[in-house]
A and B are shown apart, each in its own frame.
Chain A
Amino acid sequence: MLNCFRYINIYMLHRTTLLKKPSENIQIFRLTSTTSEKLPSNGDNINIPKYIHRSSTDILKAISSTIQRDPTAAHYKYHDDPYLIPVSNFQKRAYALSQESGRKAAHWIRNQHPDLFNHKVAFPPIEKFYPKVFYDESHELDENELKKVIEKGVVSDAITVYNLLSKNGIEISSDTQQALLELVCFYNNQDDIEEDWIEERWYTQVNKEREELRNTWKSNGFSNSLFSTIKSPNAHHYSTIIQGMSKYNQFEESYKLYKEACEKKLILSINSYNSAIRSAIYVKEGADHKWLHIQEILNQMNDLDVPMNLMTLNSILYVLTTMAISPESKKYALKTIAEAKKFNIEPCLSSFYYLIQIFCSDKKNKSTILVDILNLLEGKTLNIKDIADTNFFVAAMENCRYHLQNFSVALRVHSLLLTGNNYNLIGNSYKESVYYRHFFAILCQNESTELLMKYYNDLVPHIYIPEPSITEMIVKSINVSAAVEFYPKLWSDILMFDQADREPVIVELTNGMAQNLFPSFEQSVKEELGQLAGTIYDSIEERKETGKIKMSWTGSLLGNLIEVCLFGDNIQNATEIIMKLKNNENEIIGVPDSQNITNFLNYCINKNYFNEILICVEYILEVGLEVDLDILISKIIKSMVLSPMQRAHLSKLIGTEHYVEIESKTESVIS
C-alpha cells in the first residue's frame, strides 16, 4: 500500500516536471540513476542490523517519550475543564476518589446482576469485563478450578474453593497446596485492594505507614490451619510461612518456626533467612545482640551454601538502622556492603535509604554520604527492586533539608527523580507531598526568590500544593527579597488553596507588604499593591461573613493594610478599613500602629478628604490612640480650606474650647 503511494508520488512528480520544463526533468532522472548506480558498489559490505525485538507498545512508548510534562495542565486523570480541575489537595483527593467510587458502584451493579452481563461481544473474550464467579456448593469443583483461582490471586475465592474441595473429600496435589499456602501467606489471608483501584492505593497508603511496625499477622487464620494440616512440612512450607509471618511483623512466631526448621536440618529458601535476619529487631535487644543474631544466621547460610542476595543486604541494613545510635553500626554497614560486592550484588535504592538513615542519625557529625550515593546513581534509570525503594527520594530530600542544608544536592536528587521513569519511585501521594515540602523548604531557606518562583510556577498547583507552613516560608522569602511583583500571584494562590484562614500566613504577608513599600516603585506597581491590599481585605471580609474564616482581625494587621492601600492611592478601601475599625472596636484585637493612623490623616490632609478625616479623628478619640492630635488638627487648619460647616463638625468632635485654642495657636504661628 505504502509503496503504491510512493509510485504515484514519483509519477506525479515526473508528470508535473514534464509539464514544466524538460531540462529539470532530465536532472531528476539523472539524480535517481546515479544513486541507483552507487548502491551495488556498497552492496558487498551491507550489514544487516540485528533484529531488535519490539513489543506491541514500543511505538506508543517512543511517541510518548517525545512529549514533556505540561506544567499548566492537571494530571490526566482529571477532566480537562476549568470546572472539573482540582485546585487544592483536598479537591485532588476527593475528585480522584469520587471517580473511583463511581467505578466501584458500576462494579457493584455488575456483581448484583451477573446474569445481565454475560453476553460476549468482545473477541477474543476479555475476562475483566465479565462478572465475578461466586463459588458455592452447587459448583462442581476440581483441583484445576483451585489452580485457576490461585493463578488469579483472589485470596477469598481460593480459600472458599479449598474448603469446598476438602468438604467433598477431594485430595489436592502437594504442588497446589504449596501454591495456596504461598498465596495466603503473601496476602495474610485477606484480599488485597484490587489492582484496578489505583486511586485508593495511591491515597490510602498513608494509613499503612502507621501499621508498618505493628503485628498484623492473622494468627489462627487460614494459613496457620493450612500449615498445621500438613503432616510433615518440608523446607518449602517452612520457608513460605516464615516469610509470610515476618512480612506482617509476626516475628516471634516466625523465629520459632525458623528454629524448628533449623533443628530438622532443613535448607530454607534464601528469603526466609532474610526474614529471620529481620526478626532481630523484635527478638533481640541491644546492638551487640542484634549483630550476633545476624552473624549467626549468616554463618548458618554459609554452612548450608546458601548465597546471599540483595534482600539479605537490605535486611541486614534494615536491622542496622534500628541500632543506628551505636557507633559500630556504620562499620557494620560498610562491611556488609563490601561483602555484598563480593557476591556481585548492586545495592538498590532501599539499601541507600537505609545507609542514609544509618549514617545521618548523628546530627553533630555531618555525613555527606548522600553526595556519594548521588555520584553513583546520577543519570541512571532505576527499577524497583524492594518495596522500601519508594522511601529513598523522600529520605534523600529530607536529608538535604535538615542534614546537609544544601540546595545543589537537593537539585541533584530532583534531577535524578526526573530521569527516565524514576518518578514511578516516588511512592504515593503522601510521600510525594512530603518530598516537595522538603524541596520547597530548602528553596525558601537558601535560594533567591527568582529561582523559588521558577519552581513554584512549574510545580504549583498541579504537582504540589504547598502546606500552610511552606506558604508562610515562601511569603517570608518574598518579603526578605522585596519581590513585590509576586504578591498578587501568591495571594490568589492562597485564596485558591483555602489558606486565607491561616493567621500566620496572612500576618506575614501583610507585614511584608507594609515593610516593602519603596517610593521608588513605578506608579503602576504602587497602584497594583494598593489594589491588592484592598482585595485582601475584601476577600477575607467576604469569607468571614459566610463563616468560612473564623480568624478575627487584629489592629496591626488592619493598620498594615491601610498603609499599603494608601501607598497605592486606594483611599476607598483604606476608609473602609477605618470604618471597620471604628464600628467593630470590640471584635478587633488591639489597635493599629499610631504611625499608620497618622499617615492616613496626613494623606487625607494632602488630598483634601475631609469626611475621611472626620471618621479617623472620631476613631482616634474613641480608642484613645497615642497620636499627637493637636499637631494634626493645626495642620488641617493650616493646609485645608474648611467651610464653616466643616469647622463646626471638627470643633464639635474635639471639643469647642480645645479647638479654638489650637486654632488661635496656629493662627499666631502663621502670622
Chain B
Amino acid sequence: MFADTLSKVLPCRSTYLIFSRLKHVQAARYKRSIKGNKPLTYEMAGPPHTIAHIKGWNSWNTCNMLDGLRPAETAIDDEFIRRFIIGTWHDLIASEIIIKRQHNIIRIAAITVQKISVTKMYFLIGYTEELLSYWLQCPIKLELQTVEDRSAVVFKYI
C-alpha cells in the first residue's frame, strides 16, 4: 500500500528501491505471540539488518568474499555442523551455534545448559571434536559456555 502511493509520487527508480526492502521484511523476524511470552535470545531479538550493528554473524568465514574458496561447500558444511551438534547435544544447546573458520581450524561456539554431569559433557566435547574433524578433515575446537537454566539466555519476550 505504502509502495503504491509512493510510486505515484516518485519516479520509477525509487519504487524499485522500496520494493527491494519490502521483499525481505518477513525473513528472520519472529512473530509476536498472543500472550507476549515467547522467549527470544539476544541474537534472535535483532532482525537481519542489525547484523554488524548490534549483533554478529553466525558463520564467520571468507568464502563469500571476492575469490573466496568453496562458498557452497562451506554453507553445506555449516549446516551439517549445526545439525550434528544439535542432535549430539540433544536438548542442551541454548543458543545459536557460531561457526568461526580461521586458516584450517573451525571453532564452534555455543551456550549449553548444565543438564548433564560434567564428565558427560566432556565426553560429548571429545566426541564432537573428534568426529567432526574426521568428517571435515581439519582441526575442530568447541568453545562452550554453560548456563544453569535456559532462562539465562532469554533477552526479551515478545
Q: Are A98 and B146 in contact (CB under 8 A)?
A: no
List residues of chain A with CB within 8 A of the CB of B104.
122
Q: Are A121 and B146 in contact (CB under 8 A)?
A: no
* The residue from B118, B121, B136, B145 contacting A121, defined by CB atoms under 8 A apart: B136
Q: Are B125 and A79 in contact (CB under 8 A)?
A: yes
State the Cβ distance, A120 to closest chain B Cβ, in Å: 8
Q: Are B144 and A98 in contact (CB under 8 A)?
A: no
Q: Are A98 and B137 in contact (CB under 8 A)?
A: no
Instruction: Tell whether B2 is near chain A: CB-to-CB under 8 Å.
Output: no
* The residue from B126, B135, B146 contacting A84, defined by CB atoms under 8 A apart: B146
Q: Are B144 and A117 in contact (CB under 8 A)?
A: no
Instruction: Tell whether A550 is near chain B: CB-to-CB under 8 Å.
Output: no
List residues of chain B with CB within 8 A of the CB of A84.
118, 121-122, 144, 146
Closest to B137 in A: A122
Instruction: Tell whether B41 is near chain A: CB-to-CB under 8 Å.
Output: no
List residues of chain A with CB within 8 A of the CB of B137.
120-122, 126, 129
Instruction: Tell whether B152 is near chain A: CB-to-CB under 8 Å.
Output: no
Q: Are B136 and A81 in contact (CB under 8 A)?
A: no
Q: Are B122 and A129 in contact (CB under 8 A)?
A: no
Q: Are B122 and A95 in contact (CB under 8 A)?
A: yes
Q: Are B146 and A110 in contact (CB under 8 A)?
A: no
List residues of chain B with CB within 8 A of the CB of A121.
136-138
The bracket for how many chain A residues form the interface is: 20 to 34
Closest to B125 in A: A99
Interface members, chain A 93-109 (any B CB < 8 Å): 94-96, 98-107, 109
A102-B124, A102-B126 as given contacts; A110 in contact with B131, CB under 8 Å: yes
A122 to B104, CA, bound (A): 9
Q: Are A98 and B123 in contact (CB under 8 A)?
A: yes
List residues of chain A with CB within 8 A of the CB of B125.
79, 99, 102
State the Cβ distance, A653 to closest chain B Cβ, in Å: 50
Interface members, chain B 92-128 (any A CB < 8 Å): 104, 114, 118-128
Q: What is the total number of residues of chain B having a CB less than 8 Å from a CB of chain A?
A: 26
Chain A binding surface, main DSSP class: helix
Q: Are A98 and B135 in contact (CB under 8 A)?
A: no
Q: Are B122 and A117 in contact (CB under 8 A)?
A: no
List residues of chain A with CB within 8 A of the CB of B134.
106, 110, 117, 129
Interface members, chain A 75-101 (any B CB < 8 Å): 79, 81-84, 86, 91, 94-96, 98-101
Q: Are A109 and B126 in contact (CB under 8 A)?
A: no
Q: Are B127 and A117 in contact (CB under 8 A)?
A: no
A94 to B144, CA, bound (A): 19
Q: Are B131 and A79 in contact (CB under 8 A)?
A: no
* The residue from B114, B119, B124 contacting A95, defined by CB atoms under 8 A apart: B119
Most buried by B among A91, A99, A100, A110: A99
A20 to B60, CA, bound (A): 42
Q: Are B146 and A105 in contact (CB under 8 A)?
A: no
Q: Are B133 and A79 in contact (CB under 8 A)?
A: no
Q: Are A105 and B123 in contact (CB under 8 A)?
A: yes
Q: Are B144 and A122 in contact (CB under 8 A)?
A: no
A109 to B88, CA, bound (A): 14
State the Cβ distance, B141 to closest chain A Cβ, in Å: 10
State the Cβ distance, B88 to closest chain A Cβ, in Å: 10
Taking Cβ atoms with an 8 Å cutoff, the residues of B that contact A are 104, 114, 118-131, 133-138, 142, 144-146
Q: Using A79-B125, A94-B119, A99-B126 as known contacts, list a sample of 5 further A-B pairs with CB atoms less than 8 Å apart, ordered by residue number in A.
A: A81-B144, A82-B146, A84-B121, A102-B126, A126-B137
